[in-house]
Amino acid sequence: MQKAGAVFLSEQGCGYASLLVMTGPHRGDVWEDLRPMDRGIEPTGHDFAHWYRRWLERTERQLAT
């Protein structure tokens, strides 16, 4: 899935997705696609580095169990 100027990062469940903005003033920021609950696409307030560290920590915890 790709929106103009953004790429898909991950599925969050229930049709929600994380998107990485690739162009424009929000380049490098992660936004959430919340259209399944009629909220549109909203900024998370985090950049890709923050999103990736959180994803990596969750993945490491899941693999440890």
pLDDT per residue over 56-65, tens digit each? 999 999 999 8
pTM: 0.81
pLDDT score at 35: 93
Q: List Cα–Cα distances, 47 to 7, 26, 36, in angstroms.
A: 14, 9, 23
pLDDT score at 42: 95
pLDDT score at 29: 97
CA 34, 40, 1, 13: dihedral to nearest 10 degrees? 10
Q: What is the mean pLDDT of each run of 10 residues along the chain (65 residues)?
A: 78 91 95 93 96 94 92
pLDDT score at 8: 94
